[in-house]
Structure 1
Amino acid sequence: MTHAFWKQVWRADVPGKIKHFTWKACSNALPTRENLMQRKIIAKSSCQQCKSQSKSVFHALWDCASIQQVWESDFGWVDRQKTSTGSFQNLVELITQKPCQLELFITIAWFLWSRRNKLRLKEEALPQNRVVFEAKRYLILHQQPVNTLPKKQSQANETKWKPPDFNSFKTNFDGAMLSDRGEAGLGVVICNHEGEIIAAPSEKFPQPPSVICLEILAARCVAIFVHEVGLH
């Protein structure tokens, strides 16, 4: 691997975990069945999805017949015959010839690897036909600019948390999209007038279609919880 190649990877506008994943994949350091067999951890290296070839990094992320359709819409330009005898690092080097596609490529690869792990553990996994859509949405959310106020203005408008009035309770809550898992999370904190936490439930549920829907759903869940515990 050349210095220029790694410079492109480390400068990619993707989360650090995807850069680290790319480094491991290109270094053949992912725990594929082929690598596990070489370490004498398992007896067979055959791919559990296509049942036909040894599951190398290249096979697991690109060449397996079960996932080739995922790549067709955005990376159909890659000549599979020319890449079939290479490694995953050779494939990524080829993708860097079109720098604008590197970030999407390694993000889709990360989603595919995460999905394989969930299937292996018999956990609920993202449907394969949604991998590209979710990868693109994940990138957009990561890369969208964060609106920040100038420092002085931000400090002037800063809101500090205060405990509620005597014999009252205050409820704070927040929701988060967990796009890589196809889930959303909700966290709630209820405090009394002395600032003591009296309840802090959390919950995960299927990811709603938008952030606005998540906020509405979160507010509804909080209202139901507060009513159930008798905080009127």
Structure 2
Amino acid sequence: MCWGKIKHFMQKACTNALLTKENLKKRKIIDEDMCHQCSTQPKSSLHALWDCASIRQVWVADFHWINRHLASNGTFENLLDLVLEKPHMLELFAVITWFLWSRGNKVRLKQDVLPLNRVVFEAKRYLSLHKLVRMTKLQLSRSAGMKWRLPNRIGYKTNFDGAMFHDTGEAGLGIVIQNHEGEVIAALSEKIPQPSLVTLLELLAARQGNFVDDILAKRARFCSSLTVSMESVPLDISTFVSADKHIS
């Protein structure tokens, strides 16, 4: 995760310290400060991240409540003040602007870029994973004495867990099978329609999960179909396998 970089980026944007074409012209590094995307206005921080016609579609779904006329006549810091009218939207706003800035740099360098219609989805995915890591670290710190136990030498241990995604009406399943040395034999992550309350209660009653299956279940939000890994887990989950091992 690059959360520290995003905070640093936001500080630079608010203090007008980003290397926009407008600032580069003020420093006499370049002669032209017009936005190369719309060719109508100088490329300031506000223009590059919010006001350019080429990126306005990114903000429509989640930030339509912001007065665009008011925002366009101020600075990026003024825009941030408007966002803070709904504080819970600040993190998403920060991640989207960071994605847009990174995308703009790649466009300038003629590199492959994320399509604009995917920016918000990927920003939300990034934010969800960041929150998941934060929660998992908190769980690990609170449960330092509650480690996963190895099965006996002739057996395997299967752990499973579920996660509810109320915003999409779906749920995630995570299953991990490990041998007596804690090695992963198989791992599964699947997204399914949200189960009924009775089914959910039955799953909770039978639950014997560990952190790995919990993360696999939550990771299913970003799966388009069943994902199965044999003798391994996805790379971003491997750290938690080690954290769950406990050799008695």
TM-score, with structure 2 as normaliser: 0.57
- What residue is the counterpart of 1:226 in the other structure? none
Give 3-state SS (helix, strand or coil) of 2:49's partner. Answer: helix
Give a deviation string over 1:22-76, Cα, whole Å, max 9, x none: 1000010100000011111111000011111100000000000000111010111
1:131 paired to 2:119: yes
Would you say 1:91 and 2:79 are equivalent positions? Answer: yes
* Aligned partner of 1:112 among 82, 91, 100: 100
Aligned partner of 2:12 among 24, 39, 49: 24
Match of 1:42 among 30, 52, 63: 30
Distance in 1 (CA, whole Å) between partners of 2:228 and 2:109 is 28
The Cα shift of 1:157 comes to 5.9
CA–CA distance in 1 between the matches of 2:23 and 2:229?
44
C-alpha change, 1:215 and 1:119, in structure 2 (3 Å) is farther
Identity of aligned residues (%): 53
Distance of aligned partners of 1:214 and 1:86 in 2 relative to their CA distance in 1, 3 Å threshold: farther
- Please state whether the residue corresponding to 2:125 is helix, strand or coil: helix
SS in 2 for 1:100: helix
Q: Distance in 2 between matches of 1:60 and 1:121?
A: 16
Cα distance in 1 for partners of 2:144, 2:107 equals 46
The residue identity in structure 2 corresponding to 1:82 is L
Query: C-alpha separation between the residues in 1 aligned to 2:33 and 2:18?
Result: 14
What's the offset of the Cα at 1:151? 2.4
Task: Say whether residues 1:58 and 2:51 are aligned partners.
Answer: no
Q: Measure the CA separation in 1 of the matches of 2:105 and 2:11.
A: 18
Shift in Å, 1:210 = 4.0
Question: Helix, strand or coil for the counterpart of 1:54?
Answer: coil
Displacement of 1:150 after TM fit? 2.8
Match of 1:81 in 2: 69
Who is 2:193 aligned against?
none
Q: In the alignment, which residue of structure 1 is the partner of 2:237?
A: none
Q: Which residue of 2 aligns with 1:142?
A: 130
Match of 2:109 in 1: 121
- 2:160 maps to which residue? none
Query: CA 1:37–1:215 in 2, change beyond 3 Å: closer, same or farther?
Result: farther
Aligned-partner residue type, residue 104 of structure 2: R
SS in 1 for 2:107: helix
CA distance in 1, matches of 2:112, 2:228: 20
SS across alignment from 1:66 = coil
TM-score (ref. length: structure 1) = 0.61
Q: What is the number of residues matched between the two proteins?
A: 157
Which amino acid in 2 is paired with 1:88?
F
Q: What amino acid sits opposite 1:150 in the alignment? A: S
Where in structure 2 are there 5+ consecutive unaligned residues?
A: 151-221, 234-248
Distance in 1 of aligned mates of 2:227 and 2:26 = 48
Q: What is the CA RMSD across the aligned residues, in angstroms?
A: 2.8
Q: Tell me by how many angstroms 1:80 deviates.
A: 1.1
